[in-house]
Amino acid sequence: MFELLKTDPSSRARLGRLTTTRGVIETPVFMPVGTQASVKALDNRELLEMGTQVLLGNTYHLSIRPGREIIEKAGGLHRFMDWSGPILTDSGGFQVFSLGKIRKVKEHGVEFRSHLDGSLIFLGPKESMEIQRWLGSDIAMVFDECPPHTTPREDVLKSVKRTLRWAAECKAQPRAPGQMVFGIVQGTHHPDLRQKCAEELVAMDFDGYAIGGVSVGEPEPEMMKAVEISEPHLPAHKARYAMGLGTPAQMVELVARGVDMFDCVLPTRVARNGTAFTSKGTFAIKGGAVKADFVPIEEGCECFACRHHTRAYIRHLLNVDEILGLRLVSIHNSHYYLEVMRQIRAHLAAGTFAGFRRQFAETYIPTEKVRAAKAAAAATVVA
């Protein structure tokens, strides 16, 4: 059940509370991604210490490894990974449709080859919901089709109709005890198709709604537009989830557009390359500029890495390929993402979100702008 606690007068931002059988989720919320029943490089103690409320698991990957037999013997996904809080599982649809030419779309699902051994697999609404049922997740996602943003309109229309048909099939499947099911709005950049998809999903009365087909290679303005044209057609008394998003700056702006839930692999993915998120943007810890920088990744940060270690030390670990280095950056980045959400919730509660949003936009420099500035500086030097 979702409870809308407060709305921001300057934007579409909302303060809310999503109650599951395994706990209450305060929104807006960021969900660390635990694709293989683990958030990469982090253990559950660290996740709890940094304030993680809910994790995301991957239906497709977990169904292949370790598979149903092992997870059922363990007593479900929560017991298998020793996580007592809520878990949201995706449907596997995004992974399937990312396979491109090696899949075959049929009436009731998709036939494709395993990325591990090439064995033939069929996944559709019935199969996806069955997997999520034995995983025992608290929030299950419907099986949908996620076409690329460059897909011709006539094909997008067919895709939306298929997504709606599959959503109805998902709704009819049995669930795990207390399991919620969220519908997913598709339609790429077409307002009328997004509206059609959203309105028909709302008529099916799902427990929450996701905005899909974003962060799939489209330019950022197009991604923002997809959210803007979908959100007005979703009910205020249900949670809204932007799938696979985003950077800290994007999340702040998407909260302002009415989104409540986010997930993204960026915090741990870029950490493995030695990139850290801070309130001023990202920077590369492996670079020589911090070789003798004996300060935390970010001054004032309360994560374990910043409380105990310096940039110089973490840079050393990364450059000699010590696993602890990428773990410490992963801890910091994940903590930072959750801290941004904590600040957003606090400002929404205090009625000061507009000022926070404005200040964040002024101080946080997106990575692409940093790269552009460096390229411009290099070009000037050459000239």
- Which residues are known catalytic residues? 90, 263
| Contact indicator for 28, 260 with CB cutoff of 8 Å | yes
For the chain, the distance separating the N- and C-terminal CA atoms, rounded to the nearest angstrom, is 61
Contacts of 249 (CB under 8 A, 6+ apart): 360, 361, 364, 366
Amino acid in position 7: T
Helices (H), 178-243: 191-204, 220-230
Q: Read off φ and ψ for residue 273, nearest 5 degrees.
A: -100, 5
Read off the tokens for 288.
């020589």
DSSP annotation of 142 reads P
Q: What is the DSSP string of 300-348?
A: T--SHHHHH--HHHHHHHHHTT-HHHHHHHHHHHHHHHHHHHHHHHHHH
Q: Read off φ and ψ for residue 257, nearest 5 degrees.
A: -100, 10
Separation between Cα atoms, residue 62 and residue 332, nearest integer Å: 27
Strands 87-89 and 180-185: unpaired
Neighbours of 114 (CB within 10 A): 12
Neighbours of 356 (CB within 10 A): 18
Contacts of 60 (CB under 8 A, 6+ apart): 90, 92, 95, 96, 123
Amino acid in position 306: C
